[in-house]
Amino acid sequence: MSIDRVAIIGLGLLGGSIGRAVAQHAPAIATSGYDADPAVRAKARELGLVATISNTAADAVRDADLVVLCVPVGAMAAAARDIAEALPPQAIVSDVGSSKQSVLDDLRAALPGHAVIPAHPVAGTEQSGPEAGFASLFENRWCILTPPEGADEAAVETLSEFWRKLGARIEIMDAEHHDLVLAVTSHIPHLIAYTIVGTASDLEEVTRGEVIKYSAGGFRDFTRIAASDPTMWRDVFLNNKSAVLEMLGRFTEDLTALQRAIRSGDGDKLHDLFSRTRAIRRGIIEEGQDDERPDFGREH
């Protein structure tokens, strides 16, 4: 089983990056695409993100071997319904959504009988839209596949091979476990960034601009993450509710323990934790998972 034609639904950061990466790393694969927003379709045409841009989702998928839905997780069900009538029976349907259980449920409900294999390339930026993508986005990044029980192994391998061609490393796990892990490593960090920047901005009114004016590197790093797309992240929190709430409970307990350590002057506790977290950061860099990617649209 090999992929000759891929259809990309949603031509923003992720969809546009897949289009560009296929053109660069797997030019033999034909690309087609669709976006619900006519302005995005026009921009994607101008940028040549995929070879053919259709005016309906159904037309984009009519000849596809693989369809990748690159829309916010809250829009997956509607996007799947839009392709249902035109989807070739043997086509693999996948996605790039940041949470997986609700997407798996939505795609299977909308496309009964089709090979549905959700995926999540753990690669992105705070940017969004058709101009934000770049071909190297997936290089040396994990792409997590969450096939349902009993999924066709050949289809899982075909999808893995597609992502390997774009430079990604493959991991396979079930959707529920994915959602728990990503709640800790991605979703809660974004919630914390949104919170700290929001709190600082509220305080700004009290201190007449000083919080923002004198904010140094640490706060600026949070503002990068807090600039991430509001629609995408609203949908992630609404669709990964239980894992996020469970992990947030644990996080709150740890935060309270630190608060207590500060109040009681327990310097050892603070120092131990900060040493442990420094080692984690160094481990990430040694593994090659640091931020080596183009400064695409970065302000700093």
Ligand X SMILES: O=C(O)C(=O)C[C@]1(C(=O)O)C=C[C@@H](O)C=C1
Ligand Y SMILES: NC(=O)c1ccc[n+]([C@@H]2O[C@H](COP(=O)([O-])OP(=O)(O)OC[C@H]3O[C@@H](n4cnc5c(N)ncnc54)[C@H](O)[C@@H]3O)[C@@H](O)[C@H]2O)c1
Residues that bind ligand Y (CB under 6 A): 9-15, 35-37, 40, 57, 70-73, 75, 78-79, 96-98, 121, 124-125, 128-129, 229, 232, 236
A 10 A CB-CB count for 130 gives 25
CB burial readout 184-197, b (16+ within 10 A) else e: bebbbebbbbbebb
CB of 283 to ligand Y, least distance (A): 22
CB of 139 to ligand Y, least distance (A): 14
Of 190, 222, 17, the residue nearest 98 (C-alpha): 190
- Provide the mask over 216-255, with x wherever binding to ligand X is found by CB under 6 A and - wherever it is not: ------------x---------------------------
Q: Residue 19 or 124: which CB sits closer to ligand Y?
A: 124
A 10 A CB-CB count for 106 gives 25
Binding site partner of 229, from ligand Y, ligand X, none, Cβ cut-off 5-8 A by kind = ligand Y
CB of 221 to ligand X, least distance (A): 11
**Of 117, 122, 226, 247, which lies in the binding site for ligand X, with binding defined by CB under 6 A?**
122
Binding site partner of 9, from ligand X, ligand Y, none, Cβ cut-off 5-8 A by kind = ligand Y
Q: Residue 197 or 232: which CB sits closer to ligand Y?
A: 232
Give the number of C-alpha atoms closer than 13 A to the C-alpha of residue 299, restricted to the C-beta side. 9
CB burial readout 6-34, b (16+ within 10 A) else e: bbbbbbbbbbbbbbbbbbebbeebbbbbb
CA-to-CA distance for 294 and 210, rounded, in angstroms?
A: 31
> For binding to ligand X (CB under 6 A), which residues are involved?
98, 122-126, 186, 228
